[in-house]
Structure 1
Amino acid sequence: MDKRGDCVTLPTEPAVFDGHNDVLLKLFRAGGPVAADRFLTDHEGHLDLPKARAGGFAGGFFAIFVPSDDIDLDDKTGQMSQASYSLPLPSPIEWEDALPVALTQAATLFRLEELGALKVCRTAADIRACMAEGRLAAILHMEGAEAIDPEFHVLDVLYKAGLRSLGPVWSRPTIYGEGVPFRYPSDADIGGGLSEDGIDLVKRCNDLGILIDLSHLNMAGFWDVAKHSAAPLVATHSNAHAITPQARNLTDAQLDAIAASDGMVGLNFAVAFLRPDGRMVDTGLDDMLRHLDHLLHRLGETRVGLGSDFDGALIPFGIGTAAGLPALRQAMADHGYGAELIERLCHGNWLRVLEKTWGQ
């Protein structure tokens, strides 16, 4: 309703292709592949097939993520609701423990494909075809490379299966590099850079055409990827440190390096990375627009997209779920973004950088 009580239809176009979701983790916790059919119905969570259709969500990066047993989510939320916080890094996870979890989540995505819920896409042309057909398009992504052995046998197998995007770390160390803790106020200048194995991983991903995700790397690791990677620099779900000085967010120097590589950044919807005070409490869409304005200023109109973190974060109540994406489109239009820019933000820029990264 508008202020006069009249019904208002919010826009479900242009379609959104999104930089990050944690649906596979949610389904893993519900039982893995045997629970995949839950995605077909409207159930608790940010993203499922009915919500995707209602909100004009066309697909995105579906993350394999191995959870840490030593994280108390209620305690984490409570700490991050304070004026300042510094959560310790979770403990590393051994390869032997990570691999079964990663394979189960990959199997869950392929079960969703068998059920007709989506298609696992290996090329930008696949994504375009899905969008034309109205079929959900999924990129198999890995957030944290604990399940990848240093000989890269698992990487090669997963690539053959469909893996096309990988973040070397989450917010805990791996044999490849170091992540950043949930810390405010702070920047990501915490810890060392990539290991020799990490540099080799970057080069192997370049050879295969696997996108390297920078969203959780610390600053030294970011600059090591910038030095050793021949591909565009991409952060699938990150925001502007100049607006919210949280360790997860990117400084202007990092944004400038991404722009110079013709890469891109997907706006993270997590409230703690949006609010200027860094607190994990609800915020308005105006904070999202503030970050978008800054990202567009530093990166240009062809290098910014969306990276929601659906099912992995507390997002603004004004959006709520994937079904609420029309509210964001309307907010962008009301803010003065033109139709061409909104289309680029919703999906055009992701397709551009994927074509460039995957060599198509």
Structure 2
Amino acid sequence: MRIPVIDFHCDVLSKMRENVGISFLDDPKLDVTYDRMRQGEVQLQCFAIYLSERWGIPRYEYILDQIDAFKSRVMTTAEGMRWLRWKEDAAELEQAIQGSVQALKSARQLPWGLLSVEGADGFEGSLFYVKMCYELGVRFLGITWNYANWAADGVLEKRNGGFTEKGRKLIQLSNEIGLLLDVSHLSQAGFWELTERTVRPFIASHSNAKSICPHPRNLTDEQIRAIIAMDGRIGMTFVPWFVREGGEGPVRPEELLPHIEHFCTLGGENNLMIGSDFDGIDSWIQGLEHPGRYPEFAELLCKHYSEELVRKWFSGNALSYLNSHLPEKGAC
């Protein structure tokens, strides 16, 4: 079954920064490639800008390197891709999705890319750098990776602190300019502080349900309910150890079903989307190793849920969020 897909998280760009010889077209070193996006009907891929700990002290130039890789090596691939930044872009994408999945295969309808930053570390504490990245087309910001930075504590920071004073100014700036925030790596204390300070609903781009798999990066029921209450979004992720505790042995796509069912039981059928974390993992769900496997995953889900629901989770819920919260053109 071929259903259009929006994926809210992959780590292609950090791999491309580390290896300038990687081709986005079809390089086997990547999970997400242009060819596999086409194969899996991925109409929009969100590319995260991640600064690896291997690179030493985080620097702003590492963010700019990856924006450049996105513009010069991803957007120019094969027939090309389109850069989604505005409400009118999302509206055009929605028309293609609602029209026909075959539109993606047409030379007239190219897939789209979207930029996020995973962890504010590389902004070096500068709100000016944050604003500049927004003006360069970044639309989502994951405030932390797993540990503390200048803005807040990450989910693995033992002290479980919230936001710093400068981090609170980051929230205020993001609210003002329309930079959308992502809590997938944020501490519990930071999560709850953000619910009080944000004026825009946030997302958890790549997290599953902690009640099903008790990994620190997964969301508690209380967090899930809070995201649902604000009409935010949660990206179901394919990290094996976020699906089954330990993630040892072959993890299969069927093991995502309890997470989906749990989100729905809590009222989240209109809030669930996909955040694969492809290229950010070194082991994979058997049968979901890359975007080309989405049609098989859709067939599996349609054995348990209506096609209407599966379409929501694959693209509809993400689209409605983008249509509501992306800026109008020229708003930068």
Q: TM-score, normalised by structure 1?
A: 0.82
**CA separation in 1, counterparts of 2:61 and 2:319?**
31
Structure 1 portions without partners, runs of 5+: 1-10, 71-92, 182-187
The change in CA–CA distance for 1:165 and 1:241 in structure 2 (over 3 A counts) is same
2:219 matched residue in structure 1: 250
Aligned to 1:23: 12
Kept after mapping to 1: 8 A contact 2:236/2:272:
yes
Count of aligned pairs between the two proteins? 313
Instruction: State the 1:60 CA deviation.
Output: 2.1
Q: Which residue of 1 aligns with 2:315?
A: 347
Partner of 1:155: 130
Aligned mate of 2:38, from 48, 53, 65? 53
Question: How far, CA to CA, are the matches of 2:200 and 2:249 in structure 1?
Answer: 36
Aligned to 2:262: 294
Q: Paired residue for 2:165?
A: 196
Partner of 1:317: 286
Cα distance per residue 1:153-196 (max 9 Å; x no partner) = 11111111101000110012110011123xxxxxx985211111
Corresponding residue for residue 147 of structure 2: 172
Q: Secondary structure at the match of 2:266?
A: helix
Post-superposition offset of 1:114:
3.5
Output the CA distance in 2 between the equivalents of 1:358 and 1:299: 24
Q: For residue 16 of structure 2, what is the amino acid of its counterpart?
A: L
**Root mean square deviation of aligned Cα:** 1.9
| Structure 2 counterpart of 1:346, one-letter code | F
In 2, Cα distance between equivalents of 1:69 and 1:151 = 22
- Give the C-alpha shift of residue 301 in structure 1: 1.8
Question: For residue 87 of structure 1, what is the aligned residue in structure 2?
Answer: none
Question: What is the rounded CA distance, in whole Å, between the counterparts of 2:112 and 2:234 in structure 1?
Answer: 19
Partner letter of residue 119 of structure 1?
R
Residue 234 of structure 2: aligned partner: 265
2:209/2:263 contact within 8 Å kept: yes
Alignment of 1:180-191 (within 5 A): 180-181=155-156, 191=160
Q: For the Cα contact (< 8 Å) 1:272–1:280, is it kept in 2?
A: yes
3-state SS, counterpart of residue 104 of structure 1: helix
Deviation at 1:130, TM superposition (A): 4.7
Query: How much has 1:318 moved relative to structure 2?
Result: 1.2
Is contact 2:60-2:124 (8 Å) kept?
no
For residue 52 of structure 2, what is the aligned residue in structure 1?
67
Q: Percent identity?
A: 30
Runs of 4+ in 1 over 4 A off after TM superposition: none
CA contact (8 A) 2:86 2:327 kept: no
| 5+ long unaligned stretches in structure 2 | 97-107
Name 1:122's counterpart in structure 2: 85
Task: Name 2:251's counterpart in structure 1.
Answer: 283
Are 2:207 and 2:217, in contact at CA under 8 Å, matched by a contact in 1? yes
Partners of 1:283 and 1:190 in 2: how far apart? 32
Q: What letter matches 1:54 in structure 2?
A: Q
How far residue 356 of structure 1 moved from its aligned partner, in angstroms, is 2.3
CA distance in 2, matches of 1:103, 1:141: 12
Q: Separation in 2 of the partners of 1:124 and 1:308?
A: 24
Structure 2 residue corresponding to 1:231, chosen from 185, 195, 200: 200
Query: 1:326/1:252 Cα in 2 relative to 1: closer, same or farther (>3 Å)?
Result: same
Task: Report the TM-score when normalising by structure 2.
Answer: 0.89
Does structure 1 retain, via aligned residues, the 8 Å contact 2:87–2:327?
A: no
Whole-angstrom CA distance in 2 between matches of 1:189 and 1:292:
29
User: 2 CA distance for matches of 1:319 and 1:169?
Assistant: 27
1:222 to 162, 178, 191: 191
